[in-house]
Structure 1
Amino acid sequence: MTIGVSVVGAGFWAREMHLPALARLPGVKITSVVATTEESARRAAEPYGARALTDIAQAAADPGTDVLDIVAPPDVHLLAVESAASHGKHAICIKPLARDLDEADRMLAAVRQAGTRLFYAENVPFIPALHEAKKVVDAGGIGDVFRVKACEGIGEPHSDWFYDPARSGGGAILDMAVHSLEFCRFFAGAPITGVYAEAGTFVHNGRTGVEDTAVLTLRFANGVIGQCEDSWSLVGAMDSRFEVYGTRGRILVDNLHRQPLQVVTGTKGWSYPMPIEGLVADGHLAMLGHFLDCLRTGAPSLSDGQVGRDVLAVVDAAYRSVTSGQKETVR
């Protein structure tokens, strides 16, 4: 069964992760790329023999397209999912699912009414190192898990639209903490019930009023404690670290810096070229393959629209906590 996929978005993440991953998956045809300009759509589409479009509805109406893979800014997500659903097409939506809970609920309602599926493209549960760590935890290798921690940081967003809350919906909490929250949920094994959050704008305060730094403390329904450190303020570096603490051991996964291959080139200092390419090491290839296999078989997905909505409910509580200065309940 060949599945036709239209990729909505032609920015960094579409070009570097989703399009190359889709091209490597068997039984997948990239039918089109949708962008805001014909030039950017054509540049992204040409290597894959796909059509270049500027109209999401036109992509959704294509009889050769089965799925819209939405890799565009959050202000496009609701429109694209509703367009897919109105044409009887499935949707894959990059994180965050939406700018707020209202939009997420409208997206879920649209796919329910259409009888289509919505997948939440959060790569964290598909990272190979975390799958190996989960096997250790599930086998009882570190005893009972009582604390989880994630650190996700970058120096700055890769596009100007991140700084505009009308388009992005928020700052580092909505953009980065969604990764950390999904890791914590994955290993705690229970819903998050309460959040206390501190946030501020320290590095990019000349460009935006949204937070570039945040620390979230979580409490899960089963008593597990979680912590998320997330930022756009890690100057000159990136961070992607995960920790799991159990009663008989602990696990540390550094997805960026603890690589077996380390190189010094000229005056550039140490670099850490990944021995496994990013779309594999970060789980994007496995994630998209999983979604498309779910469509072929009808199997439930590890990461669907409801998961994305549940993460946004925690984000909502975190923003309320930043304002109130108190721990807030997840609604």
Structure 2
Amino acid sequence: MPANHQNKTKVVILGAGFIADIHAESFHRFVPEAEVIAVYARDPVKAEAFARRHHIAFWYDDLERAIHEAGADVVDVCLPNFLHCQAVLTAARAGKHVIVEKPLCMSLEEADAMIAACRQAGRLLMYAEELCFAPKYERVRQLVQEGALGRIFQLRQCEKHSGPHSPWFYDVEQSGGGVLMDMGCHGLAWFRWMLGRQTQPVSVSAHLQTGLRHAQRTRGEENSVVIVTFANGVLGVVENSWAKPGGMDDRVEVYGDGGVVYADLFIGNSALTYSEKGYGYALEKAGTTQGWTFTICEEAFNQGYPQELRHFIQCVQQGTTPLVTGEDGKAVLELLLAAYASAGLGRPISLPFQPKVNKPVDLWLTPPPS
């Protein structure tokens, strides 16, 4: 049943680019509990065009006015990375709940300030990691929790395409880095989601490449391989690229001593699974799922954006803690920082790792003395 208009949680979207479009569409199509009432963009032409395209009542080119005057309950931050901290602090001071797109921010100091501001204001802060809500990947996590794959020893996540959709991604002053900041954060967050927050990462090793497809546009890394070692011995391998022609790839692999699963976010609606034990809600059905099977998930919107946004709106309405928090975003940022430092120094970085740096990519472009 559609939510009563009077009881809907009101949302202002900050940003008018690609990801803001996805958020607006997700709210309109899949989150009946919410209503997007305003949008902000630095460019007034883009703000007005976005509002018209998505049938949004108000548009702003002033951040403070958008947050204070629109009358929203929730601020949805879809801005370039270097503006995340300012937007969250402003929203918290105005008494708004906040959901912020990845990566959380540019430094651990900014992360601490954002978390503290929302806590002091008594408002929720959610880190928008859609892979924690993607239906197919959640079906994979359920397989692991059921024990279908035995003891897990390696995770792998890959996200690759030929380059970002907005120019600011290529400017490391605005983005903080290259493909790692853009997409590597997804894999690192997914590892923590799969293994649980209690499973601590102990070291990070990374190799970064640049000068591939976008040498004239960015100083940031265009291709990356990062290996995270966890305290329980599990290895997490995340591969990302802005240099892969032929469209978007997003896939995960999970290896256990009793099975393996491969899931591609954009191809088909099942995850290719091999389980020696079998899986299922009833043990008597497990025999039918032994060996190779196609594990089906219920899909609404493959990448998980509607699910994460609806989850946050429900948290706001019910006063509950989001599944993915600002603290989770900070933990992912620490892994990103360690990856850049590893690539810059040419050696693994032990955790915890808390460098003082203006933007993560500096640890690679101008590494400190070893």
Is 1:290 matched up with 2:296? no
Give, in angstroms, the shift of residue 145 of structure 1: 0.9
1:280 alignment partner, SS class: coil
Letter of the aligned partner of 2:170 in structure 1? Y
- Check if 1:248 corresponds to 2:258: yes
Q: Which runs of 4+ in 1 moved over 6 A?
A: none
Amino acid at match of 1:127: A
What is the rounded CA distance, in whole Å, between the counterparts of 1:258 and 1:147 in structure 2?
Answer: 24
Residues in 1 aligned to 2:103 and 2:38: alpha-carbon distance in whole angstroms:
23
Which aligned pairs between 1:125-164 and structure 2 lie closer than 5 A? 125-164=132-171
Aligned to 1:217: 227
Give, in whole Å, the separation in 1 of the partners of 2:56 and 2:333: 36
> CA offsets per residue over residues 290-320 of structure 1, 9 Å max, x none?
0111111122211111111100000011111
Which amino acid in the other structure matches residue 318 of structure 1?
A
For the residues of structure 2 that align with 1:280 and 1:168, how far apart are their CA atoms? 27
Deviation at 1:237, TM superposition (A): 2.1
| CA distance, structure 1, for counterparts of residue 323 and residue 264 of structure 2 | 23
Deviations 1:59-101 (A, max 9, x none): 2213621111011111111111011011111111000111222
Show the 5 A alignment for 1:8-157.
Answer: 8-15=14-21, 17-24=22-29, 25-46=31-52, 47-62=54-69, 64-157=71-164
CA–CA distance in 1 between the matches of 2:248 and 2:269?
Answer: 14
Q: In percent, how many aligned pairs have the same letter? A: 37
The two structures, once aligned, show a CA RMSD in angstroms of: 1.8
Which AA in structure 1 matches 2:179?
A
Q: In structure 1, what is the Cα distance between the partners aligned to 2:110 and 2:351?
A: 17
Give per-residue Cα distances to partners, 1:132-170, cap 9 Å, x unaligned. 111111111111111100111110111111111110011
Match of 1:318 among 335, 339, 364: 339
Shift of 1:236: 2.7
Post-superposition offset of 1:259: 6.0
The aligned residue for residue 6 of structure 1 is: 12
Shift of 1:279: 7.4
Query: Superposed, which structure 2 residues align to 1:257-296 within 5 Å?
Result: 257-258=267-268, 280-296=301-317
Distance 2:349 2:56 in 1: 49
| 1:199 Cα offset (Å) | 0.3
Q: TM-score, normalised by structure 1?
A: 0.91
Unaligned runs of 5+ in 2: 1-6, 271-296, 353-370
Contact residue 33 and residue 313 of structure 2 kept, 8 A? no
Q: Following the alignment from structure 1 to structure 2, what is the Cα–Cα distance between the partners of residues 289 and 258? A: 24
Which amino acid in 1 is paired with 2:218?
A: T
Give, in whole Å, the separation in 2 of the partners of 1:290 and 1:221.
30
Is the contact between residue 5 and residue 29 of structure 1 (CA under 8 Å) also seen in structure 2? yes
SS, match of residue 344 in structure 2: helix
Paired residue type of 1:91: V
Partner SS for 2:301: helix
The answer to whether the Cα contact below 8 Å between 1:188 and 1:220 also exists between their aligned partners in 2 is no
Letter in 1 for 2:57: A
Superimposed CA distance per residue, residues 203-247 of structure 1 (whole angstroms, 9 cap, x where no aligned partner): 212221110011001101221111011111112322101000111
Amino acid across the alignment from 1:251:
V
- Residue 176 of structure 1 deviates from its aligned partner by 0.9
Partner of 1:194: 203
Q: Which amino acid aligns with 1:280?
A: F
Equivalent residues of 1:30, 1:48 under 8 A apart = no
- Unaligned 5+ segments in structure 1 are 261-275
Distance, in Å, in 2 between the alignment partners of 1:136 and 1:85 is 38
Between 216-225 and 106-115, report the one with greater CA deviation: 106-115
User: Residues 279 and 167 (structure 1 numbering): CA distance in 2 closer, same or farther, change over 3 Å?
Assistant: farther
Deviations 1:34-76, CA, capped at 9 Å, x for gaps: 0112221111112323201011111221362111101111111
Which one of the candidate residues 169, 178, 183 is aligned to 2:176? 169
SS of residue paired to 1:106: helix
Q: Kindly state the Cα deviation for residue 289 of structure 1 after the two structures are TM-superposed.
A: 0.3
1:7 and 1:179 mapped to 2: Cα distance?
A: 21
Aligned counterparts of 1:281 and 1:257: Cα–Cα separation in 2: 10
Where 2:126 maps in the other structure, the secondary structure is strand
Structure 1 window deviating more from structure 2 (228-237 vs 65-74): it is: 228-237
Once the two structures are TM-superposed, the CA of residue 106 in structure 1 deviates from its matched residue by 1.6
Q: What is the identity, as a one-letter code, of the residue corresponding to 2:50?
A: A
**AA matched with 2:255:** Y
TM-aligned CA deviation for residue 27 of structure 1: 2.4
